[in-house]
Structure 1
Amino acid sequence: MGIRLYWFLAMLGVPLFGIAQIIQPDRIEIEVESTSNEFVVVSADENGLLIFRDSEERNPKGKHIWEFRKYNTALKQEWRRDLAMESDYILRGYDYDKGQLCVLFQDGPYQDRSWPMLNMSVETGDTVQHFINRVAPVNLEYFEIVGQTVVLGGQINYKPVVIHYDMLTSRLRALPGIFQEDGELIDIIPNENDNTFDVLIGEMNDNRVKTVTLKAYDQYSNLLQSAPLNTEDRKNLLDAQVTEFDGEKQFLAGTYGPRRSRYSRGVFIASIQPNGEQDIKYYNYGDLNNFFNYMRDKREARIKRRIERRRQKNKALKFNYRMVIHEFIADNDKYILLGEAYYPKYNSYYYSGFYGGYPSRYDNMYFDGYRFTHAIAVCFDKKGNLLWDHAFKLDNVKSMQLKQLVHVNVQNDSVVLMYSYEKEITTKVIKNNGEYEETTTKAIKLANENDTLKNKNDSEIAGIEKWYGEYFYVHGTQDIKNSQNRSLDLKRKVFFINKVAYDGSGS
């Protein structure tokens, strides 16, 4: 590194012992056909990764061959299993926990039979098949492993229901205290330390204000606690996540908005003690220091001037956002909430024709996916006080589902946010209790020199997930060409997985 570069970095405040970077130490590629089904990728934490798909190959009896592969943390394949499944099986859910992978199917398209389920050992690939009888037509939304049981959540006639299945006894039952007239299932969260799990329900309280109720169960489906949050009369609690019980309190955080509205105006954090005592605090989006950082500088400055004027006049701050909450992480004595702001996009298409001998024109609307504007990370202390917040610009990324785009990892004194879009991986790293941040972008690493991506990959979202330790993994399908290496096909389509990490040491 030359003297001028050292001087330039010093002026920028960059430590001279190294530059932070995104590293991608390992990659696998599997060549696929254009019509091949996508692989599902499941983290097995320090045990590696599992991938599976319906290969659409058939055995002599006409059954579909489902392909399962296991990779270690260096992305070396350890085993492969090909399992014959009925041709009308439809994948409905999957989950990994403590050395086992469960994969849930629907037996037929009409939801009136059973849920076949595979319980697979991650170490050996040995598999046991279960058949969970469906006693009612459930619109299934959640599937989680809790010890030797699985928990399935969804709706029956627009009412929330959670079903508990014991893999040892094949016993099936609906959880008590869930099925009700005016509720909405928000999430099911297993607790890793004690084989309990939490169910979050959105429901109306006696004042007709929407609140969040935390219900805790053990792995045998016994109700341990039921605690609705005591929200204020004019604040609907819209979305939430929960941390595990720390021996003293359990913390919930999410979004709130005005009555009779699905739009949020800020975030809340609440604590619940075993005796039922609660504390809840609300923070309007205008109270956050960096919430509007995703905007252009001039627009952000106008918004902040408007906030200050309204504060001086003691007027309420009224910002309306659609926000989905993905994670709420306990980091020692700090709690970090991660959410993403979005809006649905609709487009029109026109067609014309003749009706009754006269020309006519029709205008139809269709849903064209969700656009994500930015992600937020908000950090609180154990008393619910706001410590810091940061925004991560997403540039109106398009997705057809409200799936999580930005993932978070806590490394020592740093909070690492990472997402992947348009052939690149971007990280935003927050350090020193929120006082310092940096953004790093790097292209998704390809396998060979002179490999290039075809243009049609430019607007695709690559899936990215937290893996183990400081590592993430990014995966997807790429169309690659290489006109220089004669040992490779000129053009090939591959499914890939890259191991990714943020290296703050600059080594």
Structure 2
Amino acid sequence: MTFPMALKFLLSFFSLLFTVNLFGQISQPLRYEIEIDDLNSDYYIVSAKDEGLFLFKEMEDKTDDNEFVWEIIRLDSNLNEINKREVIIDKKFTFKGYSYDNGKFVMLFQEGIDYAKDLLFLTFSLTGDSFNSYLYENLVPIKLTEFEVKNDAVVFGGNVNMRTVVMMYNFIAEKGVVLPGFYNDRSSLLQIVTDTDDPWVRIITSDRMPSKRYGITVRAFNTMGERIYSNELLAKDDFSLTDGRIVNGSEGGNLLAGTYSVKRRTETSRGIYVADFNKEEGNQINYYNYGELENFFNYMKERRKERVLKRIARKKIKGRKLRFSYRLFVQDIIKQNNENILIGEAYYPTYSNRSYGYGYSSYGYDPFTNGRATQVFDGYKYTHAVIIAFDDNGKILWDNSFEINDLKSFQLEEHVQLAFLENEIVMLYLYDQQLKIKVIKNNEIIEGKYSEDLKLMYESDEMKSNDEELEGLEHWYGNNFYAYGVNKVKNLRDENIKLNRKVFFINKIVVE
């Protein structure tokens, strides 16, 4: 190597080091493990923000009276155990959900498998080792789909006879109520919103209009179940609003964003809308077709992307409408300084063919089966995540995207997380024990997608296997996240460490 070439190499090397240091460091300072056996399931995890985490699971062994035993572990933000306890639950109850807000962790149990009769709430406080239990004698059996806690109350909703019902239970009054305005066959429950700066709970529903198009209704209640307001949002002619997420604006939830479709279609969408709930001026809705976004198609290979962009340009010249249809799973919208950040993950359902021989099906002998093949749902495949920033008037400021085409799941759920630095945004998700990372600044790519392995507990640990269906990455507090999952680990060198162990783990991830 000649001297000029060597000098050029060294300059490039140090430039790369400087770039990595400049645009965000990902560190994994801590790991927590619980050794489990093949019969044990993984733990549920709920964030208590900077106060730590709650871990809980149903134990394999029951009491002598065949009652359920639940283990609850509390960790601090350094993943140290603060306390561990066991709670006995009557055998007539089954676990249904959990939530956390403002120092209160609540577990929900219901009597009944599909439809909830009586409900049992267990509340755990960050202060003290005790817990409280509340029994709600429910008169309306309900199939629960949503559950949230807000200050001194829990809100839960679902379906009764194919109609939306939302209820509230106040822990101070020890009283439950059915919230008014929901029981009809034209609405479906989208979201219960509690993460706002004011003391109100907001309920978002999708409502089918007489024209068979869909609109969005937002209703606000206090924690005693008294209605504060109800606001209906209707799309312009031939459009339907298919989803909606509240933005916690300066007045507390006065902006709504989501996806819209054409006419009666709700399974796919044509773009993003942003609406301003301003009672004095009326509802103003801004629509943004996917084809109008600058970086929406960056997930495609270059040639395909060029063809799509040329087609968009030709349609614009001819004054023709842009027609792109996507399934987009919209996450909660993040308020960051003067920007509102929307994240959506594009996906499509996949199916596999299963064939059955003459007279047999997967359930055994079937005289009506004659060598037929049937399609079976095989999970959701993701293509990319889109991130869009808009101001408090609903005007788009910039957009960007993140390729996530290695992801697949059987339930629609959030995968991509965001960390906000001084001038950049770090986008990250977890796949097969690797953090996938991309750094952007508005619509620019500062650092392209790269990977970083999750760290194991000991230097000599080697991972033998990982359960992809049990792993995940969640936001914790600030720019701190936690990755979790189940590993089988081998260690040949360290003393006093098992040769082979199966563990449920939590890794603390810090972006700075």
Structure 2 match to 1:489: 498
Per the alignment, residue 317 of structure 1 pairs with: 322
Aligned to 2:153: 149
- Kindly tell me: are residues 424 and 212 of structure 1, through their superposed partners in 2, closer, same or farther at Cα, counting changes over 3 Å? same
Report the CA distance shift for 1:171/1:312 in structure 2 as closer, same or farther (over 3 A): same
Q: In structure 1, what residue type is equivalent to 2:306?
A: A
Corresponding position: 1:425 with 2:429: no
Q: In 2, are the aligned partners of 1:249 and 1:273 still within 8 Å (CA)? A: no
Point out where structure 2 has 5 or more consecutive residues left out of the alignment.
1-5, 361-365
TM-score by length of 1: 0.93
- Give the match for residue 390 of structure 1: 400
1:367 aligns to what? 377
Aligned partner of residue 79 in structure 1, secondary structure: strand
The structure 2 residue matched to 1:480, chosen from 475, 489, 496, is 489
SS of residue matched to 2:411: coil
CA 1:58/1:389 → structure 2, altered by over 3 Å: closer, same or farther?
same
Measured in 2, the distance between the counterparts of 1:3 and 1:96 equals 56
1:312–1:46 Cα change, 3 Å:
same
Q: Is 1:403–2:413 an aligned residue pair?
A: yes
Match of 2:271 in 1: 266
Q: TM-score, normalised by structure 2?
A: 0.92
Q: Does the aligned pair in 1 maintain the 2:465–2:489 contact within 8 Å?
A: no
Quickly say closer, same or farther: Cα 1:145–1:3, change in 2 above 3 A.
farther
Q: What do residues 25-70 of structure 1 show as CA deviations (whole Å, max 9, x unaligned)?
A: 1110000011212200000001110000001222333322210001
User: Which residue type is aligned with residue 282 of structure 1?
Assistant: Y
What's the counterpart of residue 338 of structure 1?
343
Query: Is 1:135 matched with 2:146?
Result: no
1:140-197: CA deviation from partner (whole Å, max 9, x where unpaired):
1111111111000111122111101111222111111122221111101014422211
The structural deviation recorded for 1:323 is 0.9
What is the Cα deviation at residue 328 of structure 1? 1.0
- Matched letter for residue 489 of structure 1: K
2:470–2:486 Cα contact (<8 Å) kept: no
Q: 1:461/1:61 Cα in 2 relative to 1: closer, same or farther (>3 Å)?
A: closer
Cα gap change, 1:67/1:303 in structure 2, threshold over 3 Å: closer, same or farther?
same
Structure 1 residue 415 displacement after superposition: 2.5
Q: Residue type matched to 2:305 in 1?
A: E
The alpha-carbon distance between structure 1 residues 16 and 183, as it changes in their structure 2 partners (threshold 3 A), is closer
User: What are the Cα deviations for residues 342-363 of structure 1, in whole angstroms up to 9, with x where unaligned?
Assistant: 1111111112135999994121
Q: Quote the Cα distance in structure 2 between the aligned partners of 1:206 and 1:109.
A: 35
Residue 210 (str. 1) matches residue 214 (str. 2): yes
Q: Percent identity?
A: 31
Match of 2:44 among 15, 29, 40: 40
Aligned residue among 182, 204, 208 for 2:186 = 182
1:445 Cα deviation from its structure 2 partner = 0.8
- Structure 1: how far apart are the matches of 2:41 and 2:345? 28
How many residues are treated as equivalent by the alignment? Answer: 500
Indicate if the aligned counterparts of 1:22 and 1:440 stay in contact, CA closer than 8 A: no
Q: Does 1:376 align with 2:381?
A: no
Instruction: Give the secondary-structure state (helix, strand or coil) at the position aligned to 2:91.
Output: coil
- Which residue number corresponds to residue 89 of structure 1? 93
Q: Which residue in the other structure is 2:300 paired with? A: 295
Correspondences of 1:9-24 after superposition (within 5 Å): 15=19, 18=22, 20-24=24-28
Conservation of the 8 A alpha-carbon contact between 2:186 and 2:209? no
Would the alpha carbon gap of residues 87 and 160 (structure 1) be closer, same or farther in structure 2, given more than 3 Å must change? same
Structure 1 residue 414, shift from structure 2 partner: 2.8
Give the structure 1 partner of residue 78 of structure 2.
Answer: 74
Deviation at 1:3, TM superposition (A): 6.0
Deviates more, 1:205-214 or 1:181-190: 205-214
Aligned to 1:498: 507
What is the one-letter code of the residue matched to 1:325?
A: V
The residue number in structure 1 matching 2:363 is: none
Does residue 326 of the first structure (1) align with residue 336 of the second (2)?
no
Q: Distance in 1 between matches of 2:121 and 2:505?
A: 27
Deviates more, 1:251-260 or 1:88-97: 88-97
Pick closer, same or farther for the CA change 1:377–1:17 going to 2, 3 Å: closer
175-184 or 354-363, which deviates more = 354-363
The verdict on how the C-alpha distance between 1:216 and 1:248 changes in structure 2, with shifts beyond 3 A counting, is closer
Distance in structure 1 (CA, Å) of the matches to 2:192 and 2:20: 46
Rounded to whole Å, the distance in 1 between the matches of 2:125 and 2:300 is 48
Instruction: Provide the secondary structure at the position in 1 that maps to 2:244.
Output: strand
Q: Does the 8 Å contact 1:248/1:274 carry over to 2?
A: no
**In 2: Cα distance, 1:235 partner to 1:161 partner:** 26
Deviation at 1:492, TM superposition (A): 1.0
